[in-house]
Structure 1
Amino acid sequence: MNINHLKKYQTFSSVAELDQHVRGFLRRYKWELSEGNLEILTYIWRHSVKYPGVSFAKVNTIVSTTGRSRSTVIRTINRFENMNLIKRVATIRPNGKRGVNLLLFQPQEAFLTPHDDTLPDTAIDTVSIEAEATSPNECTPEYQEEAENKQGEKQPVKTKKIEGRPGSRFDMDYTFLPSYIPASFVEVAKPFFTPVEVDRAWECIHRAYRREQMHHGIEAYLEGVTRTFKQAIFLYKQGKIKKEFCGYLYSCVLESLRQEKRKETIQCTDSVYYDWLDEA
């Protein structure tokens, strides 16, 4: 295929728009992805800039470059397609034969972060989630910038809030939160999180619940989930969590739900199979 013909498949108007989209995806899902997933995504992302959103990298090329197995690459691409991040498109050559398979990044408004043009205000006493300047994995609507003065000394860290402040058009309180977030969880999280952060923390918890495919509704596990959340907050405030908070919380909730699922499976097995030895 003539590479210039790829322009008709372009899904973004600029590389900056593509980058904003992928970073928004990572903000939501990075803690669910393995190191291999991230390497493969990074490769596809970096090779989708000539015509923003269009990658024609072959599976074999990704395998040889990342060092991951062919099955891992294919499984990862399938996963990203199921998550609506990318779409595979088969092309046809002028002679009618099948051409290369393209990987197209799909624009989704949910992955984009609204721009904030308001002035910074005094920081609220909430859990501050650390984010690396070179990494697209922000977990809260806060970011930090450090500047150096002429002598090379660091200036005080400034905090800018995206969520909004009293009296502005972005002002929100906890009554704006979606009704599907349990009120008991909101009450526990309020002293530490802004409303936007509460929403993201619950989204993280709910993803862990969906991934584990539990036997009952999430309400049945709310007590354990809340207990895990409190423990994570305590460790974070003690400075014992070095990774981003949402990633740590996701891992803890996932492990907690796995333990509950094991207990439920054992109980179910006990109810099906009668132990005649113990009875005797």
Structure 2
Amino acid sequence: MDKSMLLEMQPFSYFASKRDLRQSINERVRKLRNRLTPSTLCVLDVLRLRSMKVLGVAYLKIETIIALTKVSRASVERAIRKLEQEGIIKRIFTSRKTGLQGANIYYFLPLNDGVELTGLDKPKTPDKSKVEAPKLESNTGVFNTPKRSKETKKNNVNRTRLVKDSSVIPSYIPKDFAKLIQQGFSCGRVIKQFWSKMVMFKNITGWTRNENVLPIATDAWEYTKNEYKRDKKEWELDRFLKCFYGTMKRIEEKRVEEYAAMWK
């Protein structure tokens, strides 16, 4: 593997030591063992073994994984999708100059799917004694999704990374709503997921497109935030989203009941 490729992989590494990487993977496997098939565990082990030069990052062709695991291509693809779905790894697709698919970058996410609460837990004044790794300085998302590295050479077309910067907040999301969720999450990808819950809520409850649902969203967010602070154990992003959406529905049900009572 050439030096330029190692430099390209470096921004995707979130582990300070091999011990940290092993502990993170072992904890994930312990929690998900009943949901991971033997072939998926084989693929996971290959990615782990090949992610030691740049901690937590592997650069492999599908064919190489097939040869090392000795399982079918379909099983390898299924295993990779499963590991992505469970928040253990992320895959970055690459392509060659010819347009054909090249080797892919696979990187392990930290525990909790890389979700980092930017405002609910962290002190306002950062601890200067803790040295932050340079790779995190440019990250803006709670998933710690790395920004695309600048091309070292303008004519370098051997490897084209097909990846979007998921830290950017989509323009169609109202600024007030984005600002609300940014109290806890700064990544555009996560804010988009909360907005999707809002759109689903409006569709199910019959609110029109132009009606302002921000007051309900604000109340639901405050409730979700307080629930998290009361019991922080096992709070992953999925639980935030479910609590936020469920609370909006309960607020709406209560509002409808109150209106109905007025006409009795």
TM-based fold match above 0.5: no
What TM-score do the two structures reach when normalised by structure 1?
Answer: 0.38
Instruction: Choose 1 or 2 for highest CA Rg.
Output: 1
